[in-house]
Amino acid sequence: MKNIIEFLKKNIVPIMFIIICSICVPISGFSVTYMINEVMTRLTRNAFLILSLLIPIMAGMGLNFGMTLGAMAGEIAIVLVSDWQIWGIPAIVLACIFSIPISILLGLFCGKMLNMAKSREMVTSYIISFFMNGIYMLLMLYAMGPIIPIKHTSIKLPRGYGIRNTVSMLNNRQCIDNALAFSVGGVKIPVLTLLIIAAMCLFIIWFRKTKLGQDMRAVGQDMEVARSAGIDVEKTRIIAMVISTVMAGFGMVLYVQNLSSFSTYSSHSNVGMFAIAALLVGGASVDKASIGNVFLGVILFHTLFIVAPTVGTKITGDSMVGEYFRVFISYAVITIALIMYEIKKRQQKSNAGKLLAEAQNKEEQ
């Protein structure tokens, strides 16, 4: 009985979502095939991005709100590749390659900043992402054109410089998703994308067994002990940030090829927020996350996303209510997860006191 309560306590967020989903899905009236298809699409679209969050958590740096930086790098690369009129899989590969140096630079910057703000990584990375957003906008609005040549009019703003609100990659639409894809009972299985995600998972599993991975786990649990054992704590943390940022860049490219267009000035922020919310819905916490959390989270969170507008319409007659709720819920999830993390830490601390009182009681008996 105690175990069951303990289990429920630990997994309260995923359980809540399972309950909400199991109520909402029947109300929405969607067919099973439609649901599976949609979930599959969103799984392949988002999983890579969420996986990029795992390594900083391992290194004890919490939820990497700075993954937005990687997403920005991915977007810059896509804009350039689209302008050069390169299409198909080569375009995606090129965009990935192009995002790497930008991601590395941003990751180094972010890592250095976070080293100066130890134990306040999350709020710092969150604010850094706002700050970099400003620089990114400056680049997209004014530098693209006069400084970085942009030729194609479908990308450029009508005024002659700057990038349009939406960049379309229609010609690259789902070129990876469609490669090797087949359909089972009306459900499209994007084999290549799944293979890429699987490779990524394998990389993370392998990475945990490397010396660097071991060092990151050590640094993540106790920086001082790691330092006294001779591990270069600062460098290890920066590497964790760089890897995460580069992976987020790749994830963004994959994300955009699936959607085939993105809104230049806002999608990176949304992507960051939803990735973190999804990971938390999957049962991860600030200091612990697994690949299983990623997939469970992406399925639960996006199931709710899919059905929310329809359920909203059915219940209140207004589709905007559902829309409102899904944004509201993702913030709520993050807030709850952060608070629960703090509560858990406090509880562990006060346990020591309880033990002392118990020891005294025992002695008296």
Partner 1 sequence: MANNNAPLLEMKNIQKSFYGNQVLNDINITLNEGDVLGLCGENGAGKTTLMKILFGMEEIAETGGYGGEICFNGEKVDFKSPFDALNAGIGMVHQEFSLIPGFTATENILLNREPLKRNVISEVFGDRLNTLNYNEMTGRAENAIEKMGFKIDPKMVIADMPVGHKQFTEIARELSKENLRLLILDEPTAVLTESEADALLQSIKSMSERGVAVIFVTHRLEEIMTVCNKVVVMRDGLVVMDTRAEDTDVKKITKAMVGRDVESVDNKSVGTDETAETIMSIKNLWVDMPGETVRNVSLDVKKGEILGIGGLAGQGKLGVPNGIMGLYEAGGTVVFKGNEIPLNSPRKCLDSNIAFVSEDRRGVGLLLDETLEWNIAFPAMQIQNKFLKKLFGGLIKWRDEKAIKEVTDKYIDELQIKCTSSKQKAKELSGGNQQKICLAKSFALEPEFLFASEPTRGIDVGAKSLVLEALRKLNKEKGVTVVVISSELEELRGVCDRIAIVSGGEVAGILPASKSSEEFGQLMVSKVI
User: Residues interacting with partner 1, by CB under 8 A?
Assistant: 206, 209-212, 214-215, 217-218, 221-222, 224-226, 228-231, 350, 352-353, 356-357, 359-360, 363
Kindly state the smallest distance separating residue 117's Cβ from partner 1, in Å.
22
Minimum CB separation from partner 1 for residue 211, in Å?
A: 5
* DSSP label of 317: S
Least Å distance between CB 52 and partner 1? 18
Angle at 361 between CA 360 and CA 362, to 5 degrees: 90
CB 210 within 8 A of CB 58: no
Q: How far apart are CA 240 and CA 55, in angstroms?
A: 6
Give min distance, CB of 199 to partner 1, in A: 13
Rounded to the nearest 10°, the torsion over CA 314, 316, 320, 323 is: -60
Q: How many CB atoms lie within 10 A of CB 123?
A: 11
Smaller CB separation from partner 1, 6 or 318: 6
**Which CB atom, from 170 or from 202, has the smaller least distance to partner 1?**
202
Closest to partner 1 by CB, 287 vs 323, is 287
The smaller minimum CB distance to partner 1, of residues 4 and 352, is found at 352
| Smallest separation (angstroms) from partner 1 to the CB of 222 | 5
Q: Which two tokens stand for residue 39?
A: 């979930």
Q: Could you count the other beta carbons within 10 Å of the beta carbon of residue 363?
A: 7
Closest to partner 1 by CB, 158 or 353: 353
Task: Write down the least CB distance from residue 212 to partner 1, Å.
Answer: 4
Determine the Cα–Cα distance for residues 117 and 36; give it in Å rounded to an integer. 43
185 versus 230: smaller Cβ distance to partner 1: 230
Please list, in sequence order, all residues whose beta carbon lies within 8 angstroms of the beta carbon of residue 328, skipping any fewer than 6 positions away: none
The strand pairing partners of 182, in sequence order, are: 189
Cα Dmax for the chain: 86
